[in-house]
Amino acid sequence: MVDLANLRDPVVIAAFEGWNDAAEAATGAVDHLIDEWDAELVTAIDPEDYYDYQVNRPRVGLDEDGGRHLTWPTTRIYLARPDDTGRDVLLIRGVEPNMRWRAFSRELLEIVDESNAQLVVVLGALLADSPHTRPIPVSATSSDEELTAAWSLEPSTYEGPTGITGVFADLCTTLGVPAVSIWSAIPHYIAGTPCPKASLALLSKIEALLDLAMPEGDLPELARAWQRGADELSEEDPEVAEYVHSLEEQRDTADLPEATGEAIAAEFERYLKRRNKNHGD
């Protein structure tokens, strides 16, 4: 078991498969960080108490030597120690449980508490009337008043059914651990495949809010490939093309007030930070 008691200014980033993860954008972002940061597996939640195996079935696969192995649906916690960030990151990559959500969340909170993490970032993705030809919309909300004020976040006004992301974030706040939920909006007409463009948008939002450098790796290239595929789909179907055009008009009209000097300056500052980092300045 990895010692979590002496981490560097740790932050937690979590994502779960299922209802909260349209086009695998949220889990795709965490999977990317696990790979790019060569994160170390810390522990895994015992799946027996939380998963219905007829809903989330175990998988049989082959290892590198050709041997067969069984993988159970569960939630795993990884530790990343990226040298260029000045802090350690706990990455929670899981499957939304089928039962006992409060007990499941408390198990995760015990790990958060052991690590002395002062912030939990929960990622999600939903289907929306969003055109694929524009930047993926990303929103960030929090129930923590201090965090909302410090980061100029909008308090969540959503009412209705929620997933494990909402339950986990709420329990974090209840127990005194600030939590922020970051969601990307996936074009609903092209949500049948993973969306690396949305994963990249989620990571960009984390970087902007936390001033925590996110490794892009091959995500930009994958996002461009996704974009080309989406373009081809809309070009082949006139009805889809017309629908996308109507979404573009709605989006462009809604975005006009956001083109302020402050927003442009913030985006340019992020660009300069990334350029200096890439050039070793």
Same domain (yes/no): 59, 156: yes
Same domain (yes/no): 201, 168: yes
Arithmetic mean of pLDDT, 140-167: 88
15 domain-assigned: yes
pLDDT at 89: 96
204 domain-assigned: yes
Pick from 173, 5, 1, 7: which is nearest to 77 by CA? 1
Arithmetic mean of pLDDT, 23-50: 96
Long-range contacts of 103-109 (CB under 8 A, 24+ apart): 103/49, 103/50, 104/45, 104/49, 104/50, 104/75, 104/164, 105/164, 105/167, 105/168, 105/171, 106/171, 107/45, 108/14, 108/45, 108/75, 108/77, 108/168, 109/171, 109/172, 109/175, 109/177
pLDDT at 67: 85
Higher local confidence (pLDDT), 253 or 227: 227
CATH number of the domain residue 167 falls in: 3.40.50.10900
Same domain (yes/no): 214, 251: no
Same domain (yes/no): 68, 207: yes
> Is residue 195 scored above 90 in pLDDT?
yes
**pLDDT > 90: percent of the chain:** 60
pLDDT-derived band at 10 (thresholds 50, 70, 90) equals: very high
As for how many domains the chain has, the answer is 2
pLDDT at 42: 95
CB atoms closer than 10 angstroms to residue 123:
29
pLDDT-derived band at 198 (thresholds 50, 70, 90) equals: very high
In angstroms, the CA 226 to CA 232 distance is 10
Same domain (yes/no): 26, 64: yes
Residues 50 and 100: beta-carbon distance below 8 Å? yes
CB atoms closer than 10 angstroms to residue 210:
18
pLDDT-derived band at 269 (thresholds 50, 70, 90) equals: low
Domain of residue 256 covers 237-280
> Is residue 201 scored above 70 in pLDDT?
yes
Same domain (yes/no): 210, 241: no
Same domain (yes/no): 89, 166: yes
230 domain-assigned: yes
3 domain-assigned: no
Pick from 120, 139, 142, 119: which is nearest to 130 by CA? 139
Same domain (yes/no): 254, 161: no
Higher local confidence (pLDDT), 259 or 195: 195
60 domain-assigned: yes
In angstroms, the CA 194 to CA 215 distance is 19
pLDDT at 25: 97
2 domain-assigned: no
Of the listed ranges 126-140, 195-209, 231-245, the least confidently predicted one is 231-245
pLDDT-derived band at 192 (thresholds 50, 70, 90) equals: confident
pLDDT at 196: 96
Same domain (yes/no): 119, 197: yes
Same domain (yes/no): 123, 178: yes
Q: Where are the alpha helices (DSSP H) in 162-213?
A: 164-174, 196-210
User: Residues near 269 by Cβ (< 8 Å), separated by ≥ 6?
Assistant: none
> Is residue 159 scored above 90 in pLDDT?
no
87 domain-assigned: yes
| Stated length of the chain | 281
Average pLDDT over the chain, rounded to whole?
88
Same domain (yes/no): 123, 207: yes
Q: Is the pTM of this model over 0.85?
A: yes
Same domain (yes/no): 243, 221: no
6 domain-assigned: no
